[in-house]
Amino acid sequence: NPVTRLADYQPPAFLVPDTRLDVDLRDGETRVTAHLKLERNPARADRPDELVLDGDHLDLRSVVLDGRELAPGDDYRLEGPRLIIPGVPEAFSLTTEVRIEPEKNTALEGLYRSNGMYCTQCEAEGFRRITFFPDRPDVLSRFTTTIHADKGAYPLLLSNGNPVDAGDEADGRHFATWEDPFPKPCYLFALVAGDLACLADTFTTASGRDVALRLYAEHRDLDKLDHAMDSLKRSMAWDEKVFGREYDLDIFQIVAVSHFNMGAMENKGLNIFNTSCVLAHPATTTDAGFERVESVVAHEYFHNWSGNRVTCRDWFQLSLKEGFTVFRDQEFSSDMNSRAVVRVENVDFLVNHQFPEDQGPMAHPVRPAEYQKIDNFYTLTVYEKGAEIVRMQSQLLGAEDFRRATDLYFERFDGQAVTCDDFVACMEQVSGLDLAQFKRWYAQAGTPVLTVEDEYVDGEYRLTFEQHTPPTPGQPDKAPLMVPVKLALLDGEGRALPLDDQGRKETVVILREARETRAFPVPARPTPSLLRGFSAPVSLRYDFDERQLNTLLAHDSDGFCRWDAAQRLYFAALARVVDGGETPADQVARLTPVIEQVIARADEDPAQAALLLTLPTENAVGDRHTPLHPQRVHAAVSGLRATLGEALADAWWRLAEGLRESDYQGDGAAMGRRRLRQVALGYLAAAAGAGQVDPEPLVAHLSDTLAAPTCMTEELGALRALVHNRLPGHDAALKAFGERWKDEPLVMDQWFGVQATVPGADTVDRAEALLAHPAFEWTLPNRVRAVIATLVNANPSAFHAPDGSGYRLFARALKKLDGINPQIAARLANGGARLKRLEPGLAQQLGDALRDLRPGASANLAEVLDRILD
Ligand code: B3K
Ligand code: ZN
C-alpha cells in the first residue's frame, strides 16, 4: 500500500474556481459531464505543467480542453486511476465525460443506489468515483449541478445549494439545476434522486432570514421525522446563541438512506443520513436512539461552520473539523439534557472505546503523521479524543475567551482550508497563553497515565503528580504534556475544603513536567476529588481506599467523580474475582451498602443513578487483566450481576415496579426513569437466569410489558432480558417480536442485535443461523453491524469461544465483506485489535484466522490487518 505523509504536503498545482456538473441518471448507464474552470495555483512556486486529476471506477469517454477534443495517448494519459494532461495553459476550461455504474456500487462511496434511490457519499475520497477532479479538501470550487432522470421513478432531484431551474424533458424525463454559492471542496458535494416523502418547516435566523427546512425519507417513514426536525431547529438556535453561527443558505435539507457506511454526512445544505440516525418514533426507536438522532442531527448541522465554511487543508487535519464538531455536539446535548449525565456518557464512551484504541495496535495521534487509507482514520481518537483536546482548550481559556477565539477562527478562516495549528493560534492570540507544549496532544499518540501520590505533613496536603505516556507504534518516546487537573479536597463528611485564602473549593492544577508536587494547607488529611469533570483524557492512578471511594460516591458534587468512584468499586470487586480467587458472593457485603445508598437517592436523578448502578462491561474489565481470559471475565461479571440481583432483589423490584409507566412520555425525566427501570430489570433477569431467584414473577412481568409495551425502550428491554438470560418463553418472545416488526428494518436490526449478543459460546452457531436468515443482507451495513459487529465487539464470551469458532466466523465475514464494501470490512477488522493481549491459545487461533485473509485483501483491510498482526 502506498503511504501518504503529512510531511509531504504540497499545495494543489491547479485551482478549480468553477465546476458545472451534468449528471444523466439512467439505470444501467449513467453519464457524468464535468465542465471545470482551472487555473494555476500561484502558491505552487515549482509551477508543474501537468494537470493530474483523481478518478476511480470511471469509464472515460472524452476530454475537451478549451473547446478542443484531446486525443488519448497523445494529449492525455490514464495512469492507474489518474488522468494526466501535460502542457496545460495557465488558465483553461476542461470538459470530461465519463460513464459510471451506481447500481453496481456496493462500496457505498461515490454515487450509488439505496432502496431504489440514487445518493452520494464523497468524504473522504469518493468524489473521484463520480468524475475526474482534484479530489482533495484544499481545492474549493463553486458548484452548479444539473440532474436528469426519469420523472416517474425519481420525482425528486436534489443537490447542494439553492434550486435555480427545473423542467420536463423528452421520454418522461425531467431535470433540476442546483447552484451552491459557497465554494466548497468536492467531498461536500451531494446529489439525491428518488421518490421520497417530505416533512417541511421553516426556521427564522437571528438576522431575520427564513430558511426552508426539508427532511426526506421513504413515504412509510414520514411519521418518523418529527424528532429530527425538532432537533434541527434547536441546533440552529443553539449555534446562533452559543457560537454566534447563523445558517447561510435559503434551504437546508436532510435525506434518510438505508444503505450508509456510517452515521451521516454534512454535505453543504444537503445532509445525507443513515436512516438509523434520523428516523425516530417512540414505537420503533429506543430512548438511546432518540438521543442519537438529536446529537447526530446537531453534529452534521454544526459542520456547516466547523467543516464546511472553514474546512481542512488536508486529511491529516481531520480532527480540526471532527474533534471540534464533536465538542460542539456534546455541548449542545449537555444544554438540551442533564449536563452531568451527558458528561459521564461521553467519558464512559471515551474511556471504554477510545482508550483501548489508543493502547492497542491502531494507536495514532489525533493528527496522524501518515496513513495508507484515510477511511481507516475516521476513528474514536480523531473524533472523541479530538473533542477532549478542544474541551481542554475551552477550559484553559474560560468561556468568554474561548468564544472570542472561535469567533476569530471563523472570521479569519471563512472560505479557507486550514490546519489544527491555525485553530490553536486563534486560542493563543485571544488568551495570550503559550500553547506550544499543549499542541503535543495533537501529535503524540497513546493514553497518558497520571499517577498521583499524596502525603499529609505539618498541616499540608501534598499531591505529587507523575505523568507518563507509554510507547505506541512508531512513537517509542513521549514528552510530557500540558495536563489540566481540576481537583477538590473533601473532608470526612464529604464537604469540599477551602484551598486558598479566597476560600475557593475547586482549583485547576496545570501540569507541565513529568513530575510535579503541589501543596494545600488543609486541617486534616482529605479525600482527593481528582480530575473533576474528567478535565484531561488521562488514565488516573491513585490508590483510593474503599472508604474514600464511598465518600466520593456519596458526597462529591462532581458527577464524573461520583461515577468514577462507583466504577472503581466495581472494578476492584471484579478484580478480586477474576484474579484473586474470591467469589461474586464474597463481594456482596462490601457492595450492597453502596448500591443501596445510590438507590435511596435515585429520585434525585434517575438517569445518573442508572449510570452509577451499571457494572463495567466485560471488555472494560478484560482490558484491566493481562493476559486476557475472556471466559473468566465473563464468569466474573455475569456472576456478580446475578449475585447482586439476588442480594438486592427487593430493591430492584421496588424500582422496576415504581418506575413502570402507564403512558408513554417523551421528556428527559421519563427517559431517565425508563433507563433506571431497565437497569433494575437487568439485575433481576440476571439473577433469574442464573437460577438464583425464582424466574416466574419476572417472566410474568416481562411478558406483560411485551404484550402491551408503552414504547420501544420498554419492549426491547423486556425482550433482551428474556433472551439474554434464556428465561422461560424467550424463543416465543423472539418469534413474536420478529413477526411484529418484520417490515421495520431498523427494529429488525435490534432484533438481530439482541440475538447476536446472547452471552455464551453457543451464540456463534446462532449467529451463523442469523447470517442465513432471509432478512440478512451483506450489502446493508446496518444489518452487518447488527449481527457481526455486535458479536465481535459486544459479546466477548461468544467471539472468544474456546474452540475458535467465533474467530473463524469473523474471518469469513471479513473476507466476504471485503469484496463488497472494503470500508466496512476494515472497520469490522478492528474487532481483532485485542489479539496481542489474549492468552496464548486464543491469540494463536485469532492470529491464524486473520493471517489467512492477508493475500488478496483490499488496501483498507490490509492496513488494519498489518497493524494487528505485525
Ligand atoms: N464527516 C462524516 C464522516 C465521513 C466518513 C467518511 N469515511 C460524518 C461526520 O463526522 O459528521
Ligand atoms: Zn463530523
Give 327-353 pLDDT, tens digit per residue: 999 999 999 999 999 999 999 999 999
> What residue has cell string 413502570?
660
For ligand 1, atom 8, the nearest C-alpha belongs to: 265
Show which of 552, 572, 606 is a domain's final residue. 552
CB 375 less than 6 A from any atom of ligand 1: yes
Q: What does the pLDDT average to over 704-714?
A: 98
d(CA 391, CA 398): 10
How many other CB atoms are there within 10 angstroms of residue 664's CB atom? Answer: 15
Show which of 428, 443, 458 is a domain's final residue. 443
> Which ligand places an atom closest to the C-alpha of 190?
1
Q: Are residues 397 and 454 in the same domain?
A: no
CB 127 less than 6 A from any atom of ligand 1: no
d(CA 262, CA 200): 25
For ligand 1, atom 10, the nearest C-alpha belongs to: 322
In single-letter form, the type of residue at position 849 comes to A
CB 377 less than 6 A from any atom of ligand 1: no
> 679 alpha carbon to ligand 2 midpoint, in Å?
31
What is the atom index within ligand 1 of the atom nearest the CA of 266?
11
Residue to substitute in 188, 268, 308, 378 for testing ligand 1 pocket (most ligand atoms within 8 angstroms of CB): 378
Domain-located, residue 629:
yes
d(CA 431, CA 862): 45
pLDDT of residue 850: 98
> What residue has cell string 493481549?
837
What is the atom index within ligand 1 of the atom nearest the CA of 823?
7
What is the tens place of the pLDDT at every residue in 548-562? 999 999 999 999 999
pLDDT of residue 1: 87
For ligand 1, atom 2, the nearest C-alpha belongs to: 265
DSSP string, 726-751: T-TTHHHHHHHHHHHTTT-HHHHHHH
Q: Are residues 470 and 397 in the same domain?
A: no
Q: Are residues 614 and 701 in the same domain?
A: yes
The overall average pLDDT reported for the chain is: 98
Q: Are residues 455 and 437 in the same domain?
A: no
d(CA 538, CA 446): 9
CB 123 less than 6 A from any atom of ligand 1: yes
d(CA 96, CA 135): 15
What is the tens place of the pLDDT at every residue in 571-615? 999 999 999 999 999 999 999 999 999 999 999 999 999 999 999
What is the atom index within ligand 1 of the atom nearest the CA of 262?
5
CB 378 less than 6 A from any atom of ligand 1: yes
> 300 alpha carbon to ligand 2 midpoint, in Å?
6
> Which ligand places an atom closest to the C-alpha of 262?
1
Q: Are residues 430 and 472 in the same domain?
A: no
Domain-located, residue 175:
no
CATH number of the domain encompassing residue 840: 1.25.50.10
Domain carrying residue 379: 311-443
CB 109 less than 6 A from any atom of ligand 1: no
> 259 alpha carbon to ligand 2 midpoint, in Å?
18
CB 124 less than 6 A from any atom of ligand 1: yes
What is the tens place of the pLDDT at every residue in 698-707? 999 999 999 9
For ligand 1, atom 7, the nearest C-alpha belongs to: 375
Q: Are residues 728 and 668 in the same domain?
A: yes
> 265 alpha carbon to ligand 1 midpoint, in Å?
5
Q: Alpha helices, DSSP H only, in 355-455?
A: 355-358, 380, 386-397, 399-413, 420-431, 440-443
Cβ–Cβ under 8 Å, residues 418 and 317: yes
- Largest CA-CA distance found in the chain, in angstroms, rounded: 92
Domain-located, residue 164:
no
> 107 alpha carbon to ligand 2 midpoint, in Å?
20
Q: Are residues 806 and 681 in the same domain?
A: yes
Q: Are residues 591 and 538 in the same domain?
A: no
What is the atom index within ligand 1 of the atom nearest the CA of 300?
11
pLDDT of residue 525: 97
The alpha carbon of residue 550 and the mean position of all alpha carbons in its chain are separated, in whole angstroms, by: 33
In single-letter form, the type of residue at position 751 comes to W
Tell me whether residue 606 is exposed, middle or buried, using C-beta atoms within 10 angstroms of its C-beta: 0 to 12, 13 to 18, 19 or more.
buried
What is the tens place of the pLDDT at every residue in 189-233? 999 999 999 999 999 999 999 999 999 999 999 999 999 999 999
Show which of 443, 462, 482 is a domain's final residue. 443
Q: What is the length of the chain?
A: 870
What is the tens place of the pLDDT at every residue in 22-45? 999 998 899 999 999 999 999 999
Domain-located, residue 16:
no
Tell me whether residue 339 is exposed, middle or buried, using C-beta atoms within 10 angstroms of its C-beta: 0 to 12, 13 to 18, 19 or more.
middle
pLDDT of residue 109: 98
Q: Are residues 620 and 689 in the same domain?
A: yes
> 122 alpha carbon to ligand 1 midpoint, in Å?
9
Residue to substitute in 119, 262, 383 for testing ligand 1 pocket (most ligand atoms within 8 angstroms of CB): 262
* Interface predicted TM-score (ipTM): 0.99
Q: Are residues 775 and 798 in the same domain?
A: yes
Q: What residues are labeled active site?
A: 300
d(CA 142, CA 739): 50
CB 262 less than 6 A from any atom of ligand 1: yes
Q: Are residues 356 and 472 in the same domain?
A: no
For ligand 1, atom 4, the nearest C-alpha belongs to: 123
> 264 alpha carbon to ligand 2 midpoint, in Å?
8
Domains held by the chain: number: 3
pLDDT over 90 (residue 377):
yes
Q: Are residues 460 and 416 in the same domain?
A: no
Cβ–Cβ under 8 Å, residues 418 and 447: no
CATH number of the domain encompassing residue 487: 2.60.40.1840
Q: What does the pLDDT average to over 118-145?
A: 99
CB 297 less than 6 A from any atom of ligand 1: no
Domain-located, residue 73:
no
Percent pLDDT > 70 in the chain is 100
What is the tens place of the pLDDT at every residue in 98-124? 999 999 999 999 999 999 999 999 999
CATH number of the domain encompassing residue 414: 1.10.390.10
Q: What does the pLDDT average to over 259-276?
A: 98
140 membership: H or E segment, kind and range: none
CB 322 less than 6 A from any atom of ligand 1: yes
Domain-located, residue 691:
yes
pLDDT of residue 396: 98
What is the tens place of the pLDDT at every residue in 641-652? 999 999 999 999
d(CA 239, CA 245): 5
Domain-located, residue 777:
yes
Domain-located, residue 321:
yes
pLDDT over 90 (residue 167):
yes
CB 266 less than 6 A from any atom of ligand 1: yes
> 525 alpha carbon to ligand 2 midpoint, in Å?
46
